[in-house]
Amino acid sequence: MLGGDLVAAWEVALSDGVYRIGFAHGTTTGRRVVYVNGQEVIRRDWMFKLVGKETFSIGGSHTKATINIEAMSGLAYEYTLDVDGKSLQTFMDNKAKTTKTWLLCVDGENWRVVLEKDTMDVWCNGEKASSTGEFVDDGTETHFMLGQHQCCIKSTSGGRKKNGIVHILLLNGEQIPASTQ
């Protein structure tokens, strides 16, 4: 599983799930190990150059991620994660603008529902859901199933230009509050 030299960890929320990235850096052995959800995806032993980058992909969409290793004062190092060419914070801020996420429990099972606003694709626990969209008087409705339950994401104008489009998830007709994730 994860090595004893773990020096950094991050969480990256993509449409198909939340990925936990771990990085082990042995500054005396030169070892670099990258983990995604506890699985080793890169291992480099006896790296004589202790700074640099490690690039790998995460998720079903093979999103590019890069760990940057930079020397600080003395024998200290700084580790940062870039996702899709952007800092993790910038990537997550952009993702928050282009997706809407709901976390809910249905029939004792936890679900993570993600709407990709640009394509109107719906993801349920990492799987792209079969959905149908239709235009209605006040916007659009995207229908899909969550287990045996009828779901609908209603997309309507927020009333003001600043508000943009409002997306509401309905499970069997009941509104589900959005997640901050």
DSSP 24-55: EE-TTT--EEEEETTEEEEEE-S-S---EEEE
The reply to whether 98-176 shares the fold of 6-84 is: yes
Query: Distance between CA 24 and CA 96 in Å, rounded?
Result: 29
Burial of 146 (0-12, 13-18, 19+ CB in 10 A): buried
Identify the CATH number of the domain defined by range 98-176: 2.40.128.180
* Nearby residues of 137 by Cβ (< 8 Å), 6 or more positions away: none
What are the residue ranges spanned by the domains of the chain? 6-84, 98-176
- Whole-number mean pLDDT of the chain? 91
Reported for 81-89, long-range contacts at CB under 8 A and 24+ positions apart, including other chains, are 81/8, 81/10, 81/12, 81/21, 83/12, 83/58, 88/10, 88/12
Nearest by Cα to 70 from 27, 29, 31, 37: 27
Average of per-residue pLDDT across 114-127: 95
**pTM score of the predicted model:** 0.84
pLDDT digits (tens, 9 = 90+) for 124-136: 999 999 999 999 9
pLDDT digits (tens, 9 = 90+) for 52-111: 999 999 999 999 999 999 999 877 899 999 999 999 999 999 998 999 999 999 999 999
Contact assessment for residue 100 and residue 164, using Cβ atoms and an 8 Å cutoff: no
Identify the CATH number of the domain defined by range 6-84: 2.40.128.180
- CA 105 to the chain's CA centroid: 19
